[in-house]
Chain A
Amino acid sequence: MDALSSVLVVLDSTLRLSIPLLCACLAGLWSERSGVVDIGLEGKLLAAAFAAGAAAHLTGSAWMGLLAGIGASVALALVHGFASITQRGNQIVSGVAINMLAAGLTATIGNAWYGQGGRTPPLEGAGRFEGVLLGHSALVYIALAMVPVTAFVLARTRFGLRLRAVGEKPAAVDTAGISVTALRYAAVVVAGVLCGLGGTYLAAALSAGFLPGMTAGRGFIALAALIFAKWRAWPALGACLLFGFLEAMSIRLQGVPLPGIGEVPVQAIQAMPYVITVLLLAGFGGRAIPPRAAGVPYVKER
């Protein structure tokens, strides 16, 4: 009974911890499938978490928090889009800038508004997302629903086909008379919305308010999951659940000796997603090949 309940506890927290990863991972999937590399997932999550925490506290409504979170995240996504699509700038540089902007702005504004070292006041009652089914909030189910939606739209709709084509060979799409720019902006905005969802979940469901740096590298683990999943939606769910499980285990196993192995250093488990990603990228255990045009700005005349 005791073993069963602890298994359930771990599975439960696995799901909770994988939701922000899943949102960011799907966001990266949309963006990169359209040919826009997104290092800025972390920054968008963080900005969304702050906006959601502040708005939910102000209005007392978690849903208003979600709206604000998505707004903040989409705003950053548009900055990234402007730099990398319209101005054909370096997408990685732009992503790094987004991460720093978000880290700096959330801490600065949070400290100026609330004066508590950057954190937002704790959220109570309707300011947080309450469990609606099996103890999980609506955001969990929305995020999970995004997996089949993403898979379906990308694989089975005209829009999805074009979007994938733009990420592989934009010139072909352009020749067919379809706007590369519009498709890529659409993908970047979808990425913004998804990161908004993930960030809001962090601040208004997983915790009760925003803490500076609360994303703690989740945007980068999502990037790792995206590579692990080879830029596909269903495997992305699997990868995020796996990485969420690792995080749950690393919390659970803190200071607990395992039979036969002894005490596993928490850090060994925490390092797993990064190690897996490095190995996969190096082509050990199945090659991970990104979309062909990812990271390359599209220049019409060529």
Chain B
Amino acid sequence: MDVEVRLFATLRRGRFDRRPQPVADGCRLEELIRQLAIDPKEIAIRLVNGREAEIDHVLQPGDVVSLFPAVGGG
């Protein structure tokens, strides 16, 4: 199945902004992050379809996964 991965801020460096990503059925968020070769420590905020998700969240086909480093402002 495919999910859409969106990366932001410093996570984009040397990677990509957004792309479809093939993953195995029943793939958990942490497995996807490993597959993308991103150090989990670099990620501060994980959203699946705009909602905060734990690392053991099981992905569904077509899910939009948005990953952010620590960000702030205002």
- To the question of whether A and B form a pair in one complex, the answer is no
